[in-house]
Structure 1
């Protein structure tokens, strides 16, 4: 699943490739991915230029002339840039450019979303107005207060994009390992020092993963065939029965809120 580092890798790659392209038309082969009314979407986006590509949490934001195009890749969304090749299976939305190239949104599970919002108000409109801050921007005092009001597992809190944006299953496991915190600890029991450790570890994990292009696990590859290399740096995630890099105790796998979770039972008591 694309997480913040993967989405940032996609953002940088696409911005280098398609900035200043003018959209002259859109084909939607699976219209439910577009959350706007389809004919209105096509009319509004036509003849707008892609000025730059931003990111908030796991959302890509194409800044156009009059609107912002908000894209959530969800489980398996990815982009390909092509010319006149035949449309392939799972290429559900195709943006045609004046240059003759086209940008194709490919999504096996069809969970991704594409939304067009007026540029004047996109930050104050769903879904971006529901996002928490990213770890690098979050205040320790604020986050500590939030945690102490949550009588649920710390892993569940860290996965909640309304509270803290950008962490997914892989990077929460890695963050909690670096913080020496068990994922089933109640958030309300996390100390102030542990709150600081969590934020510092999250920043460290996301920065390193972004530098390495994210993590390629199962079917995920980022835009244009860019493969993440952070999977070579993982400490616990997907390491069941392998020795902990810190204490050599075997990593165990468990379920937390239905999510596969990897833990060192010695380091994360």
Structure 2
């Protein structure tokens, strides 16, 4: 599933194609998944931003806007396999035409969603409404994170909840926990563990963004950009998807387990589960 690095890369790559352009047509056949997209027609894209794993097109109000004089947000969640393409394909779900060209939203497994809403009106998107700070922003503060981690349950599901920090999914949770030397099921982190994990989250996310995210091929919907360029951070993975290979730190084989119904990768020697009184 595209996580923060992949969505941020998407934002950076398609922004030149959309910023300042007027949306002429949004075509799809699933109004329950792509809600109120007709409201975007006739509006100019003022900017593109990202919040966690959500991509946002900020739409200006104007005379051509249908029935709503306010600015709007066109929110896109890529789901597991969603991504934009320059040409239509067999998995194209949405066609977005502007006065400068057309982008096609492909989504093999159909988990992607879109919605056009008033800015900040996220009642139908509870994860977005309750999302924690961005991991590469000044709002993500070590002191706050460490305090929350001291009371947390199993740390990987806690990270995946998006509440302590936004944008961390299965891939980067495994990578950050490996880097911090913390077992994915560890509860109630000590101050030292919380500080290590805080630094690891920032480090892993920063490097993954610079590498353009991770492309992991399963033959269906492999993440890549609109022009076909894949990410490169998969070549730096130390835990995720590396079960049966030697740990880069100690040589012990990386193992795969299931935690909270998610495949989870860790080193049994470097990441020991500790009992807490």
Q: Give TM-score scaled by structure 1 length.
A: 0.89
Distance, in Å, in 1 between the alignment partners of 2:80 and 2:135 is: 22
Q: Which of 63, 69, 72 is equivalent to 1:67?
A: 72
Question: Paired residue for 2:265?
Answer: 262
Shift of residue 231, structure 1, vs aligned partner: 0.6
Task: Tell me if 1:142 matches 2:134.
Answer: no
1:173-212 to structure 2, matched below 5 A, reads: 173-186=174-187, 188=188, 190-212=189-211
Q: Any idea what SS the aligned residue of 1:31 has?
A: coil
Question: Paired residue for 2:3?
Answer: 3
Q: Which of 46, 55, 68 is equivalent to 2:41?
A: 46
Moved more, 129-138 or 46-55: 129-138
1:54-133 to structure 2, matched below 5 A, reads: 54-65=49-60, 66-82=71-87, 87-99=88-100, 101-119=101-119, 121-122=120-121, 126-127=125-126, 128-133=128-133
Task: Tell me if 1:26 matches 2:21.
Answer: no
Distance, in Å, in 1 between the alignment partners of 2:14 and 2:224 is: 10
Shift of residue 215, structure 1, vs aligned partner: 0.4
Distance, in Å, in 1 between the alignment partners of 2:175 and 2:222 is: 18
Distance, in Å, in 2 between the alignment partners of 1:206 and 1:72 is: 19
Q: Which of 240, 246, 251 is equivalent to 2:249?
A: 246
Residues 22 and 89 of structure 1: CA distance in aligned 2, closer, same or farther (over 3 Å):
same
Q: Contact 1:213 / 1:226 at 8 angstroms: preserved in 2? A: no
Shift of residue 135, structure 1, vs aligned partner: 2.4
| Larger helix percent | 1
5+ residue gaps in structure 1? Answer: none
5+ residue gaps in structure 2? Answer: 61-70, 273-277
Shift of residue 143, structure 1, vs aligned partner: 2.1
Shift of residue 142, structure 1, vs aligned partner: 2.2
Q: Contact 2:150 / 2:191 at 8 angstroms: preserved in 1? A: no
Shift of residue 125, structure 1, vs aligned partner: 8.0
Distance, in Å, in 1 between the alignment partners of 2:123 and 2:98 is: 29
Aligned pairs, number:
255
Q: Deviations over 1:125-157 (max 9, x none)?
A: 84532211122332233223323333x311110
Distance, in Å, in 1 between the alignment partners of 2:166 and 2:149 is: 15
Cα RMSD of the aligned pairs, angstroms, is 1.8
Question: Paired residue for 1:226?
Answer: 229
Distance, in Å, in 1 between the alignment partners of 2:175 and 2:83 is: 24
Moved more, 235-244 or 217-226: 217-226
Q: Any idea what SS the aligned residue of 2:264 has?
A: strand
Q: Contact 2:18 / 2:98 at 8 angstroms: preserved in 1? A: no
Q: Contact 1:23 / 1:95 at 8 angstroms: preserved in 2? A: yes
Distance, in Å, in 1 between the alignment partners of 2:24 and 2:163 is: 35
